[in-house]
């Protein structure tokens, strides 16, 4: 099983990247989330392999949180790799967790190819997985954002509900940007919680 590919970016589009590693060009299907974050000529993408009778496909992810969200989506009956990629192109991993935990069926229905039944199935199947296992939700929510992760850890140690604190931090980070310090983020969150 391939864990990651580290090499030279040959081609990038909103749906795929080609990375040359050891003289071999690897075609990786990516979400818009990953495509928008791949910047350098030398890049590293985490990989999930899908091996079927008629195809061997590689899906690339910019961080562990997105790959974890992708794998959780694949565990839902009726959600294949293409659908999971479409969901992650429409929702960032932290938004996906928020939508699932808030049981927001309408947001899923706005994604191409997702109907009401599939949306409900995703929420029912994944709600307990994200709310019951903090390490999975934290990995997905953090998505490489160590400022948010530190602030969330501090707020939860102060006794605040992790889900509510996470949503509050997301709102603050959207308005303030990711350059905010951990201390300032915590102060602003305390005012809203």
Over residues 114-135, the pLDDT tens digits come to 999 999 999 999 988 877 555 5
Q: Which pLDDT score is estimated for 144? A: 46
H/E run at residue 21: strand 16-21
pLDDT band at 137 (very low <50, low <70, confident <90, very high): low
Over residues 149-175, the pLDDT tens digits come to 778 778 877 888 877 888 888 888 878
Q: Which pLDDT score is estimated for 136? A: 55
Helix (H, G, I), strand (E, B), or coil: what is residue 63?
Answer: coil
Residue 66 has pLDDT above 70, yes or no: yes
* Mean pLDDT lowest among 23-27, 60-64, 119-123, 180-184: 180-184
Residue 146 has pLDDT above 80, yes or no: no
Domains located in the chain, CATH noted:
4-61 (2.40.50.140), 64-133 (1.10.150.20), 145-192 (1.10.8.10)
| % of the chain exceeding 90 in pLDDT | 44
Only one residue has tokens 């006794």, namely: 159
Inter-CA distances, 115 with 47, 120, 123, 125, Å: 28, 9, 12, 15
Six-digit token string for 179: 């350059």
Residue 11 has pLDDT above 60, yes or no: yes
Query: β-pairing, 56-61 with 24-29?
Result: parallel
Cα(84)–Cα(111) distance, integer angstroms: 11
Section 89-107 average pLDDT: 87
Cα(41)–Cα(62) distance, integer angstroms: 14
Q: Which residue has the higher pLDDT, 101 or 67?
A: 67
What is the number of H-type helices and E-type strands within the chain? 10, 5
Helix (H, G, I), strand (E, B), or coil: what is residue 169?
Answer: helix
Q: For residue 52, how many other CB atoms are within 10 A of its CB? A: 9
Look over the chain and give the mean of its residue pLDDT values, rounded to a whole number: 85
Cα(92)–Cα(50) distance, integer angstroms: 21
Q: Which residue has the higher pLDDT, 171 or 24?
A: 24
Section 96-105 average pLDDT: 86
Q: Which pLDDT score is estimated for 51? A: 92
Q: Which pLDDT score is estimated for 57? A: 95
Q: Phi, psi (5° rounding) for residue 184?
A: -65, -40
Six-digit token string for 121: 């199935």
Are the beta carbons of 4 and 61 closer than 8 angstroms?
no
């Amino acid at each position: 099983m391939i864990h990651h590919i580290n090499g030279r970016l040959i081609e990038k589009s909103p749906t795929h990247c080609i990375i040359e590693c050891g003289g071999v060009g690897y075609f990786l299907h990516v979400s818009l989330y990953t495509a928008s974050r791949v910047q350098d000529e030398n890049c590293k993408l985490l990989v999930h392999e899908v091996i079927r009778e008629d195809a061997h496909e590689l899906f690339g992810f910019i961080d562990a949180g997105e790959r974890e969200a992708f794998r959780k989506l694949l565990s839902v009956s009726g959600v294949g790799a293409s659908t999971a990629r479409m969901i992650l192109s429409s929702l960032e991993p932290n938004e996906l967790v928020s939508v699932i935990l808030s049981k927001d069926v309408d947001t899923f229905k706005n994604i191409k190819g997702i109907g009401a039944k599939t949306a409900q199935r995703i929420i029912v199947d994944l709600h307990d997985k994200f709310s019951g296992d903090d390490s999975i939700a934290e990995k997905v929510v953090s998505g490489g954002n160590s400022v948010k992760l530190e602030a969330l850890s501090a707020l939860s140690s102060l006794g605040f509900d992790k889900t509510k604190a996470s949503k509050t931090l997301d709102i603050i980070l959207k308005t303030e940007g990711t350059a905010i310090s951990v201390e300032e983020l915590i102060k602003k969150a305390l005012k809203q919680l």
